[in-house]
Structure 1
Amino acid sequence: MPKAASTRSTAHPAAAVRAHAPSAAAAAIVESLAPLLREWLPRQRWFAGKGRDLTGLVPVAVTELLPPVPAGGEGPGLLHLLLRVEQHDPGAAAAPPQGPGDCYQLLLGVRTSLPPHLAPSLGGRARQGPLAGRTVYDALHDPYLAGVLMDRLRSVDAVGPLRFGRADRIPAGLAPRLLDAEQSNTALVYGDVFVLKILRRVVPGPHPDLELALALAAEGSERVPAPTAWFEAAAPAGSGWPLTLGVLQPYLRGSTDGWGLALSALADGRDFLAEATDLGRATAEVHLALASALPTVALDGARTAQLAEAMSRRLDTAAQAVPALLPYAPGLRAAFEALGGPGAPAHGRPAQRVHGDLHLGQTLRTPDGRWSVIDFEGEPARPLGERRRPQPPVRDVAGMLRSFDYAARSHTPWHADWAVRCRDAYCEGYAQAAGDDPRAEPELLRAYETDKAVYEVLYEARGRPDWRPVPMAAIERLAAER
């Protein structure tokens, strides 16, 4: 890929980005869809506002990628919507001051009637406004409309506020299929050649999933599939940055994710040491390439103390929400004090761009045994600025160590020694490639692993209570370490 491509999504000066304001026609379309979207949106697994009342839908942009046919016609239309969703916590005594709300990307099909094979994607029938009487559904379930989207990505530079970029040619006629997986975004595979990741909750600014993949491609890294194409929306009114909407990358056919491989090894009674060692090397190679491609910083004692204080605050917040953490809080806080307290080392620690949410499920192993790292979005719940902030590379290492523990505890009976051996093998592989063993600074590794375990407890308590014992076992261990 040409070197210039690496700056495609990271060099938008605010003054050069044309802001886009929705038209009256766009507002009318959203008003027509509002009653059914209020019911449909909370049911989508990628919708982050579950449990809160939906109080408003504000159009950011509405684009006809394929105009709906006149009433009575059979052909589908394809609408691209960017909607700002306003919500209120029903448990609050009074409505809080209204913030900007989350912005979501929707691709909606519009038909007079829905064929039986598309019934699971039904959103509803509009009863008012310009779409009255039309059936509306999730367009990504429709192979024809998914093909229309790929055609725009393949051969069009702009449609309304949407901008399409390409680093390589894309062949025509690739059959689409929707990947069925629980995730915060949506993925389509085209002809087993490309995978298109559609971002659902979008924010202005350089998105790490595109930004880091382009930077790694320019650096010549072979551990991350290089973006083939992408699309964005022009900056919403009042913003200086575009919205990254989707990234097309090569599809690693025949690959298996690391989580599935680890569970298979446990089920078969096999160790996972060779795979874990190779995965450690792959992680280190990605970190080295990121450090070469993008600026790095050194965290002095003051900035390290700020990092530790932020971890301690997250512990306080989590303990308020999950009282089971309270007995362990003093021991957990000791891990953060060892990192940034008065007796902590004052030397600068290197910090750089990292993956930010690394675990076994974010890795793929090809049939020839080569590991790749995917999904550089970071933790979606965190603000974009925080996700793009340089961090010590050990943050990713800690995430992977926690993932080995999760895998071991997913198996009955629990194989604690399996996780310990995998953790050591992973760190050894990392040290072989990076030249630095992440275990050489135990207070740094312990602090990041503790912070991750606290996050996991809160996450599981909110969404998967049956899984909460997994991170709680790590909490008990980490709180007792000295």
Structure 2
Amino acid sequence: MSEAVTRPGITTDALLASLDPLLRGWLPRQRWFAGKGRPVSGFHLVTATELLPPTARLGLLHLLVRVDQPLIPGRGGATTAQPADCYQLLLGVRRELPPRLAPALIGHVTEGPLAGFTVYEALHDPRLADFLLEALRMRARVGKLRFERAMGRDIGEGLVPRVLAAEQSNSSLVYGDTYILKLFRRIVPGLNPDLELPLKLAREDCAQVPAPAAWFLADLPDDVNVLGVLQPYLKGTTDGWDLALRRLTEGADFSGEARALGRATADVHLALARALPTVTLGRAQVELIAEGMAERLDAAAGAVPALLPYAKALRTAFDALADLAAEGTTWTAQRVHGDLHLGQFLRSPSGDWSLIDFEGEPSRPLAERRMPQPAVRDVAGMLRSFDYAARSAEPWSPRWAGECRAAYCAGYAEVSGRDPRTDPVVLRAYETDKAVYEVLYEARHRPDWLPVPLAAVHRLASNGPATNGPATEAH
């Protein structure tokens, strides 16, 4: 492994200048680029590491790049400052690009230290993908990059890599149906929950969550930055979303699987509560949570006019939560998944469920994603996911959704000892908050899906039950 960050005489400014014209056109087109809709005004290199120094045949550059974009106009012409996002880039460098790598082309460099070279997305090059796995296997240190491997874990050689096309906010490489390497694209300082929580759960022998085999980080002055995690590849599994849609298409029952999903969720929650501290949320903390929900509602209603007629009624869900706290009710908060939905669960051919992707909602600050929260937040996410699945089929089947939601809560109660439906105020608040988030997301990214969360908004604004099923008691 080379220890040089850049070759003598090559400055990071010169390297960036040579890549700038190419990155301006290529970055905004990537699925994982968060700043779509705003032009790129500049770049700043955080780190530049030559994993393989460019030669006439092959090179591999690892970059952490901050992307400057214009301020977002706000109400009344005001502008909202946005911190520059930092992205992880892995760039292959060759004099000539073989035809098989043509779809990975970024561009041809015309000036600077890489003049005359062709730059491309390195993940599509098996030789460069092999290098990443070897670095993890050998626990390499290259510049500010540190590759680590779980104690006692041997990583085999000769595993053929391929890019997984299904990723959106990140990128993944599968190695020989044995491992999957998740590469985080948008990098924030601190310990990413997608490494932190599976490591903690492995120590609790939590069978539902695959244990990390290896990972790599960037050691920077402000904090450690998690760049990628290697986990076992669960070959032959089907994700919960695809399975639910298949059952819907067949007109088949899904409540048995929903019940198993509830049990699996509770198993993970109990393991997280054992592995990490829990806290008690009193009046002050719950009022802050309710205020945050109300603020997100106001912001969403300002951005999506279709939400405005429901805003006043939706706010009552958050007011009721704050009122309950004022009466002395408390809740336990713990670490949770943070972005739970059917697509995060994988079902093995034997029928067992595994839970993946503990990163949380990438749009939320890392500190918030790592805070203890009521476990019902994850439950609300799953209830919304059953509704999404049901409404994606024609005709819309409210009975199917209701049966799944009720079975999920019943399964959760079997393991946890507490049915989420016995706390309807907090469940309604969290499901309302999730539906408001969905309205904003769909309006921005998938307008055709907007009727799905709006239907939930209509029900929740009418004070409809957070889940179908038996009548519940007030907490």
Aligned twin of 1:202: 187
Superposition pairs for residues 212-227 of structure 1, below 5 Å?
212-227=197-212
Asked which structure has the greater RCO (Cα within 8 Å, sep 6+), the reply is 1
Partner Cα distance (1:94, 1:370) in 2:
53
Displacement of 1:342:
6.7
Tell whether the 8 Å contact from 2:71 to 2:81 is kept in structure 1 after alignment.
no
Tell whether the 8 Å contact from 2:413 to 2:419 is kept in structure 1 after alignment.
yes
Partner Cα distance (2:325, 2:339) in 1:
29
Superposition pairs for residues 234-249 of structure 1, below 5 Å?
234-235=219-220, 237=221, 239=222, 241-249=223-231
The structure-2 alpha-carbon separation of the partners of 1:344 and 1:414, relative to structure 1 and needing over 3 Å to count, comes to: farther
Query: How big is each residue's C-alpha offset from its partner over 1:256-278, in whole Å with a ceiling of 9 and x where there is no partner?
Result: 10000000000111010111000
Residue 34 of structure 2 is aligned to residue 52 of structure 1 = no
Q: Secondary structure at the match of 1:196?
A: strand
Could you tell me which runs of 5 or more consecutive residues in structure 1 were left unpaired when the two chains were aligned: 1-19
Displacement of 1:95:
9.7
Tell whether the 8 Å contact from 1:22 to 1:62 is kept in structure 2 after alignment.
no
Residue 257 of structure 2 is aligned to residue 275 of structure 1 = yes
Displacement of 1:94:
8.4
The structure-2 alpha-carbon separation of the partners of 1:342 and 1:376, relative to structure 1 and needing over 3 Å to count, comes to: closer
Displacement of 1:97:
8.1
Partner Cα distance (1:133, 1:178) in 2:
27
Could you tell me which runs of 5 or more consecutive residues in structure 2 were left unpaired when the two chains were aligned: 465-475
Tell whether the 8 Å contact from 2:72 to 2:81 is kept in structure 1 after alignment.
no
Tell whether the 8 Å contact from 2:71 to 2:82 is kept in structure 1 after alignment.
no
Aligned twin of 1:10: none
Displacement of 1:31:
1.5
Mean Cα deviation higher: 291-300 or 113-122: 113-122
Partner Cα distance (1:479, 1:95) in 2:
32
| Partner residue of 2:100 out of 108, 112, 117 | 117
Q: Secondary structure at the match of 2:44?
A: strand
Displacement of 1:346:
1.8
The structure-2 alpha-carbon separation of the partners of 1:279 and 1:345, relative to structure 1 and needing over 3 Å to count, comes to: farther
The code of the aligned residue for 2:410 comes to E
Partner Cα distance (2:155, 2:175) in 1:
11
Displacement of 1:55:
1.0
Tell whether the 8 Å contact from 1:363 to 1:371 is kept in structure 2 after alignment.
yes
| Partner residue of 1:304 out of 286, 291, 309 | 286
Q: Secondary structure at the match of 1:172?
A: coil
The structure-2 alpha-carbon separation of the partners of 1:128 and 1:94, relative to structure 1 and needing over 3 Å to count, comes to: farther
Q: Structure 1 length as normaliser, TM-score?
A: 0.92
Displacement of 1:345:
4.1
Displacement of 1:341:
2.7
Q: Secondary structure at the match of 1:341?
A: helix
Residue 365 of structure 2 is aligned to residue 383 of structure 1 = yes
The structure-2 alpha-carbon separation of the partners of 1:479 and 1:165, relative to structure 1 and needing over 3 Å to count, comes to: same
| Partner residue of 1:324 out of 306, 309, 313 | 306
Partner Cα distance (1:105, 1:441) in 2:
42
Residue 26 of structure 2 is aligned to residue 40 of structure 1 = yes
Query: How big is each residue's C-alpha offset from its partner over 1:401-448, in whole Å with a ceiling of 9 and x where there is no partner?
Result: 000000000001111110000000000000001111111100000000
Partner Cα distance (1:461, 1:26) in 2:
40
Tell whether the 8 Å contact from 2:136 to 2:216 is kept in structure 1 after alignment.
yes
| Partner residue of 1:156 out of 122, 125, 139 | 139
Q: Secondary structure at the match of 2:41?
A: strand
Aligned twin of 1:140: 123
Partner Cα distance (1:282, 1:215) in 2:
17
Tell whether the 8 Å contact from 2:170 to 2:182 is kept in structure 1 after alignment.
yes
Displacement of 1:348:
1.8
The structure-2 alpha-carbon separation of the partners of 1:128 and 1:95, relative to structure 1 and needing over 3 Å to count, comes to: farther
Q: Structure 2 length as normaliser, TM-score?
A: 0.93
The code of the aligned residue for 1:408 comes to A
Tell whether the 8 Å contact from 1:51 to 1:89 is kept in structure 2 after alignment.
no
Partner Cα distance (2:343, 2:203) in 1:
25
Aligned twin of 1:66: 52
The structure-2 alpha-carbon separation of the partners of 1:447 and 1:36, relative to structure 1 and needing over 3 Å to count, comes to: same
The code of the aligned residue for 2:270 comes to L
| Partner residue of 2:318 out of 322, 336, 355 | 336
Residue 198 of structure 2 is aligned to residue 192 of structure 1 = no
